[in-house]
Amino acid sequence: MPQLSWVQSIGAGTTFDPLQNSLYERMPCAAIVKILSSATAVGLLQSVISGSETVVEEGPVPLYGAAGVFPTEQFVDPIIDEVAAGDKIRIRYRNPTGGAIEAHGTFRF
């Protein structure tokens, strides 16, 4: 099962897309994808877009764990979507707060 994991400090007023310029930005095959995301502080927002479909409108990222701790399905609900080959996947984090927040996540298909 291909997987990409990330830990990223997202500065105040900035955005981050972990799939941008990665092997999985455009899906190599039709698949069911699973995304797990968490943040170390309240205030981080996330949206998920698959092809032309908005899978998750911008909303809060679940608070879970401490710095460097990856989310698990035991504590964070996964985002699951069926995607077509060639679809561009965007996982966009946005930090509207006044300080940096660390995002953790995993993308699998």
Q: What string of pLDDT tens digits covers the 109 residues of the chain?
A: 899 999 999 999 999 999 999 999 999 999 999 999 999 999 999 999 999 999 999 999 999 877 778 899 999 999 999 999 999 999 999 999 999 999 999 999 9
**Token pair of 49 as six digits:** 């877009």
Task: State the CATH number of the domain containing residue 56.
Answer: 2.60.120.680
Q: Domain span at residue 40?
A: 3-108
Q: Quote the number of domains for the chain.
A: 1
pTM above 0.75, yes or no: yes
Taking phi over 0 as left and psi of -120 to 50 as alpha, with beta for the rest, 57 belongs to beta
pLDDT on residue 89: 98
